[in-house]
Structures are given as C-alpha cells and as structure tokens.
C-alpha cells in the first residue's frame, strides 16, 4: 500500500490531487464527489517520511539529525518549511497577555478566516 502511494506521488509530481470516490472498507458503501486530501497527505513523499520520523522520535531534533545525517539548522529549516504548508489554529494567548490584546488577536484571526468583514474588524479594533 505504501509503495502504491509512493508511485502515485511520483506519477503526479507536485500537481494537487482530488479524490472523486471513497469506499468505506467492509461496508460496501461508496461515496462519489470531490474530496481534497488532508494536509499531511498533500506533502511530498519525502516530507511525509520526515514528519513520520519526527513524530516517531517524539520530536527529538537530535534523533532526526542522526537519522537523516543533517545538521540542527537543516532540521529546523525543513520543519519550518513543512509547517508553513499548514494552516494552524490560532494559538491561545501567552500567559500575561492582557484581554485587549487577546481580543485584538482573535479579531484578526476571524478576519483572516473570512468569518467577519474588514469593516467589522476595523470597528472592533477601534473600540
């Protein structure tokens, strides 16, 4: 199965994939439509292996250095590049952040997600 995925990744290159049919194993149920792959599945095969190694090593950069024969800055750079491909949930405000700053950050996050208009964001930020 993993070999099939690797072959598919090589065949498609960097082109995005769109799944049109999903089968629920053992149920005999098929669903057709247009489904995007989850973010981790959109990574290149090499980046998927790197992320799996990172998780398996409990996030140990030293272990990744040894496993891949690369330096600490290279590991950090690669992790940052991979992380840049994901949209992350807004992190909680650090301890000691006042309520006004937290509210401002949440307003900006809502604007970025398209949950509020620019006019609504400006109105909230001016308060």
Please give the backbone phi and psi of residue 41, each rounded to the nearest 5 degrees, phi first. -75, -15
Q: Which of 75, 88, 77, 14 is nearest to 44 (CA)?
A: 14
Longest Cα–Cα distance of the chain, Å, equals 56
At 8, the pLDDT band (50, 70, 90 cuts) reads: low
Q: What is the pLDDT of residue 109?
A: 83
pLDDT, mean over the chain: 83
Task: Count CB neighbours of 90 within 10 A.
Answer: 12
Question: Measured between alpha carbons, how far is 86 from 116 in angstroms, rounded to an integer?
Answer: 22
pLDDT of 79-118, one tens digit each? 999 998 887 665 555 555 567 777 888 888 888 888 888 8
């Amino acid at each position: 199965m993993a070999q099939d995925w690797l072959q598919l990744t090589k065949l498609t290159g960097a082109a995005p994939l769109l799944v049109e049919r999903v089968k629920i194993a053992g149920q005999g149920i098929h669903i057709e439509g247009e489904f995007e792959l989850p973010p981790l599945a959109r990574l290149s095969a090499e980046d998927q292996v790197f992320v799996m190694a990172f998780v398996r090593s409990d996030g140990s950069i030293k272990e990744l250095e040894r496993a891949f024969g690369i330096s600490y800055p290279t590991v950090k750079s690669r992790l940052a590049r991979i992380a840049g491909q994901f949209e992350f949930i807004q992190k909680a405000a650090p301890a000691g952040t006042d309520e006004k700053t937290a509210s401002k950050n949440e307003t900006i996050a809502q604007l970025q997600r398209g949950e509020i208009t620019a006019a609504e964001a400006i109105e909230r930020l001016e308060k």
